[in-house]
Amino acid sequence: MMNWQELEERIQTGIIPRRSRILKADGKGRRLVTSNRGRKIGMRTGIKTTQSKAITYDMIEFAFETLSAKGRFDSTDFRTRFKDEYNAAPCRFSMTGGVLVELGLSNIVPSPNEEACYYTKNPGWKVQDNL
């Protein structure tokens, strides 16, 4: 059974700059992790650019708590807590969910047009009650 502190340790050790590649909303492409320090994870925004965007550990913790409680996490959930961040860069939602996929806690469910997605809790993952 996993709690947030254990997940935070896994993020710090398992999401490795210049090695980890986080699944995009289409369920196919991946984003290169460029940094993981100071409770922020930076990722490349596209294939032909070196620009990057960052997500925070707070965003990942919120996604983790939502998945724990509901078994599902979507962009509506993300916008309830991080509206300004989402409006500035909608890709932050899929970057956040993608970290949970990379660590084996979530599965991605792309929409038929592959432009949107939501995340479901991996059935093999158990969460501790004391989040």
What DSSP letter does each residue of 42-106 carry, written as one string? Answer: EEE--SS---EEEEEHHHHHHHHHHHHHHSEE-HHHHHHH-HHHHHH-THHHHHHHHHHHHTTSE
pTM reported for the whole predicted model: 0.92
Q: Is residue 116 part of a domain?
A: yes
pLDDT tens for the chain, 131 residues long, are 689 999 999 999 999 999 999 999 999 999 999 999 999 999 998 777 788 999 999 999 999 999 999 999 999 999 999 999 999 999 999 999 999 999 999 999 998 877 789 999 998 876 554 44
Phi-psi region of 55 (alpha: psi -120 to 50; beta: other; left: phi over 0): beta
Q: Is residue 131 part of a domain?
A: no
Q: Is residue 126 part of a domain?
A: no
Number of domains within the chain: 1
* Domain coverage including residue 104: 4-121
Q: Is residue 63 part of a domain?
A: yes
